[in-house]
Amino acid sequence: MASASSTTRERLSRETLAAGALALADREGLEAVTIRRLATDKSVTPMALYWHFKDKDAVLDGIAEQIFDSVVLPEPSTGDWDEQLREVLDAVLAAIRPHPLAADLLAPRVMKSVAGLVLAERVIGMLRRAGFSPQQASQTASFLLCSIVTLVTSEPGKQTNLTAEDQENLDRGKRAQLASLDPKLFPSLLESAEFFLYCDDEDTYFARGMDFLVDGTRGVRPS
């Protein structure tokens, strides 16, 4: 049987605390993530957490690390570079997609964890072998990660930390704003208005977004 001290150490490990912070961010947004809130959730004093996280920014680093750690990269293959790129990007999307309220943390923190570095090395190396220069490969890899994050955070009807009533009021206001547009000036916007508010097929939405990213990368590859 595990001792009380070993159970406490496990409960206050960096990984466990970061996982708790990510779960909190998923439920209530990043604003809710604080040292004090995490300490309260673990029934300890804030001082007990400072061994792993000196401040909130360090906790946010931990959240990003948790998400990067969850990327299941495919084994390298001998397939075409763009096919391999799609497989890697799909793995990144699968890891980010469950965490729309925390996704904005990722791009500025990709170099702050081993998992983030491994991902960056994989993508940049793939782009270099495809003919991109070091500068082009670095910039393209950054663009791809930022684009996947935006795809997740901008999904119509995406998960928010609003109450059901507040979300309904927000959607009602958006509908009213769109309905007030002059149909002679904005016929296409009015025709598509509902699709700004909800996504009727999430898998198609994400697949089309990934098509854009891979096709676009293929299209700008140096000749």
Q: What is the pLDDT of residues 56-103, one digit of tens each?
A: 999 999 999 999 999 999 998 888 999 999 999 999 999 999 999 999
Say if residues 101 and 29 touch (Cβ distance below 8 Å). yes
Pair 207, 113 in one domain: yes
The C-alpha atoms of residue 178 and residue 142 are separated, in whole angstroms, by 34
- pTM comes to 0.88
Q: What b-and-e string marks burial along 129-138, b requiring 16 or more CB atoms within 10 Å of the CB?
A: ebebeeebbb
Pair 115, 212 in one domain: yes
Q: Which residues of the chain have pLDDT under 50?
A: 1-4
The C-alpha atoms of residue 175 and residue 124 are separated, in whole angstroms, by 42
In a domain, 59, yes or no: yes
In a domain, 163, yes or no: no
Q: Residue 138's pLDDT is what?
A: 97
Q: Which domain holds residue 46?
A: 10-68
Pair 146, 209 in one domain: yes
In a domain, 78, yes or no: yes
Contacts of 161 (CB under 8 A, 6+ apart): 27, 28, 29, 32, 101
Say if residues 52 and 19 touch (Cβ distance below 8 Å). no
Residue identified by tokens 């040292």 is 35
Residue identified by tokens 């009213």 is 176
